[in-house]
Chains A and B, each alone.
Chain A
Amino acid sequence: MGELLWYFPETIKELKEIITTSVGVVPHSGGTGLLKGDVRKYKGLVDLGRLHISNIEEKDDFVEIGAMATYGDILRYFKDKNNNALLYKSLLNAASFPLRNRITIGGSVAYFPPWTDVMGPLFALSAQVYLTGEKEGWYSILDYATNRELHKKTVVLKIRYKKDVDTGRSAHYRAKRTQIDHPAFTITLLLYVRDERVHSASFYVVGTKDKFKRLNVLEKQVIGKNVKEIDPESMSLDEVEFYGKVQFSPEYQKTLFITEVKRKLRDILETLK
């Protein structure tokens, strides 16, 4: 086996060149997963640390987040600006303080570990990812998460979502044993209310057998309804299957999921009544 090569591109052009022409190289951002995994399976690692892609800014109608922005950067950005932002609420309890200074949003999107706290919110916010490499341009995060072709010889450079999408009522739940535990799964609920009626909703669970699932059955039961008439307890839920994890058994996760979806929905509705 040859020596593992490291690349340190300083421009997007250099990055694109490396990603499209080298075989067996993978981008490397925060590195939290790297040292836990087996790096021997790679031929090269591309350090993204010199590309200056950690900026977070409002651009036109969007909030745009550079792929190298850490969870800590995102929390610091939203802290004074909008602590009701869904990403802020979901990352506030994600991982420990030092880990938040290492885990990047781009790494979480690209690797999509089942315990990630960002994918549920990004799905709910209908986020988009900007790729460079063999495929260049903006793609919906749902497409990126489900189409492996989009991962080949590409790198996530930035993530964005429309500012007005983040104006709904939201809740995020992490199924964990202790505060800093990886969640076994996460639930993200985002709904919009006009004249006391729910006019749209976006509910996701991440960490299921199929990795993630949109809760269409539940969404249909709330859309169009007056918030005072919605009774989470009487609602039927989507069929969601879990696999056994170090934290909880599949059966326990299912019970927890049913309880917490209803509880979080009730919490949101309480704020509207």
Chain B
Amino acid sequence: MKIDFIVNGKKVELDTNPTRRLLDVLREDLGLLGIKEGCGEGECGACAVLLDDKLVHSCLVPLANARGKEILTIEGLKNTEAYRIIQDAFLDAGSVQCGFCTPGFVMSTYALLKNNPDPKEEDIKKAISGNLCRCTGYQMIIDAIKLAAKRGEKLWKA
């Protein structure tokens, strides 16, 4: 079946099985390897992308559901000011160790700050409730998100 959708601003049309996971299509067909597969069952958030501006686990989205929709992956965010602010904040707060979960956390951070430019710690914890990190113990990630909120204040509120 032909399925068309927009990935990182570019129109894509694929002739494939619509029951395939969005995660597999993004990685295998489109080569977007910033999206990781961790658990494959919607627990770890390593595969997080924005689907029509809403944060989702791409391992739980059948491709058919993406038909006609817009997808933003970490690669699409990469050359933006928002990405630079979040990346620097993660580096400065020491939030990255093995780095496997980081793209997912970056996407969750972006989704949070876009909608809530001045999050309380509780909001941050809820926003990253769909992401697992086995290295950092979360506090440094929470610190990074606070830092990104502060440094990008003008951008998030714009």
The interface residues of chain A lying within 8 Å CB-to-CB of B56 are: 98, 101-102
Q: Are B64 and A180 in contact (CB under 8 A)?
A: no
Give chain B nearest CB distance to A103 CB in angstroms: 10
The distance in angstroms between the C-alpha atoms of A6 and B2, with both chains bound, is 11
Q: Are A96 and B129 in contact (CB under 8 A)?
A: yes
Segment with Cβ contacts to B, from A27-35, A228-236, A237-245: A27-35
Q: Are B60 and A31 in contact (CB under 8 A)?
A: yes
Checking B55, B60, B130 against A180 with a beta-carbon cut-off of 8 angstroms, the contacting residue is: B130
Q: How many residues of chain A get a CB closer than 8 Å to chain B's CBs?
A: 22
Checking A34, A97, A98, A179 against B62 with a beta-carbon cut-off of 8 angstroms, the contacting residue is: A34
List 12 contacting pairs A-B, 8 Å CB cutoff, sorted by A.
Answer: A6-B18, A32-B42, A32-B60, A35-B21, A35-B59, A47-B64, A47-B67, A96-B129, A96-B130, A98-B45, A98-B57, A180-B130
The distance in angstroms between the C-alpha atoms of A99 and B51, with both chains bound, is 12
Of chain B, the residue at the smallest CB distance from A102 is B56
For chain B, the bracket of interface size reads: 20 to 34
Q: Are B1 and A99 in contact (CB under 8 A)?
A: no
Of chain B, the residue at the smallest CB distance from A40 is B19
The distance in angstroms between the C-alpha atoms of A4 and B42, with both chains bound, is 23
Of chain A, the residue at the smallest CB distance from B112 is A97
Q: Are B129 and A97 in contact (CB under 8 A)?
A: yes
Binding site for B on A (CB under 8 A): 4, 6, 8, 28, 31-32, 34-36, 39, 45, 47, 49, 72, 96-99, 101-102, 179-180
The distance in angstroms between the C-alpha atoms of A176 and B130, with both chains bound, is 16
The distance in angstroms between the C-alpha atoms of A102 and B42, with both chains bound, is 10
Whether, in the assembled complex, B147 has its beta carbon less than 8 Å from a beta carbon of chain A, the answer is: no
The distance in angstroms between the C-alpha atoms of A31 and B60, with both chains bound, is 7
The distance in angstroms between the C-alpha atoms of A36 and B42, with both chains bound, is 10
